[in-house]
Amino acid sequence: MTENTKVLAAVLQMNSTEDVAANVASALALVEEAVLWGAELLVLPEKFHYLGGAKGAVAASEPLDGALMTSLSETAARHGIFLLAGSIWEEIEGDHRAYNTSVLLGPDGQQIAVYRKIHMFDVDVGGHSYRESDDCCPGSQVVTAQMNAGLKVGMSVCYDLRFPELYRKMVAAGARIFTVPAAFTMATGRDHWEVLLRARAVENQVFVVAANQVGRNGEGLESYGRSMIVDPWGIVLAQVGDGEGIAVAELDLLNLEQVRANLPALNHQVL
């Protein structure tokens, strides 16, 4: 990074389908575009390499040392960036399910941290029944990742956003940025996406970097989009519109510290 007090972050919004090769090509193209903007922390959306039917998802799952992560590691190292591989279908040996796994890669291409989505999306919304737990195995570990000496990132995925206790644990562990790769549905996204992102930012006085899927996937289900970056005061610094694209914003960590000093709510917690 250019300096410890400022980070240029980018959210990469995708319309992933069942075509793995096309999805990966799109992701890499968006990374290249964000790098041209000078982004240092790049966040891809949830299940960016495959978003469609469960049967195909199992076939698309890979171990963390597979071809997909190797390609992303090489990309991160080539550009010297922090690249959050939104989430991938991580293969579990001996299990028909996969983990929904987010991986943070460092400027040397090494895996800094691995987070496996804890909260499974088992809901009935928008006229469709979602049962993520049928195909995904939940993780159990709260994960924060050290980007440099003074900066920790708290990692989450999509439906986790509705569980503030997770984020409070991450901020207690020192997180100053939350990453939220997602595939928020159209039905829930239009009413809840921005509200929840801004709430997590305000109550924890952190930056939130949230990359969402957009448009229809291979099953014909629609994601909301509106990927955004939110500051510790709850202000939306940047947002992607309709379709695939990127949004970039500077995260000023001195501003974060000023917010926490002026309104020390984190120090006032008694329960």
CB burial of residue 263 (10 Å; 0-12, 13-18, 19+): middle
Please name every residue paired with 250 in a beta bridge, in sequence order, or none if there are none.
8
**DSSP, res 267:** G
Backbone angles phi and psi of 116, in degrees to 5: -105, 120
Q: Among 40, 47, 132, 158, which one carries the catalytic annotation?
A: 158
Give the three-state DSSP class for 188: helix
Residue in 46, 90, 132, 244 annotated catalytic: 46
Question: Which residues of 54-148 form beta strands (DSSP E)?
Answer: 82-91, 98-105, 111-116, 122-125, 128-131, 136-137, 144-148
Task: State the distance between the two ends of the chain, measured CA to CA, in whole angstroms.
Answer: 37
Give me the residue label for tokens 């309104």.
263
CA 40 to chain centre: 15
Q: What is the C-alpha to C-alpha distance for residues 30 and 84, in angstroms, rounded to an integer?
A: 13
Q: Does the annotation mark 169 as catalytic?
A: no
Q: State how far the Cα of 156 lies from the Cα of 143, in Å rounded to an integer.
A: 8
Does residue 117 carry a catalytic annotation?
A: yes
Q: Which of 47, 62, 90, 117 is catalytic?
A: 117
Check if 152 is active-site.
no
- Rounded to the nearest 5°, which phi and psi values hold at 23? -60, -45
Question: Are 38 and 8 contacting, i.e. CB atoms less than 8 angstroms apart?
Answer: yes
> DSSP code of 49?
T
Q: Which residues are catalytically annotated?
A: 46, 117, 158
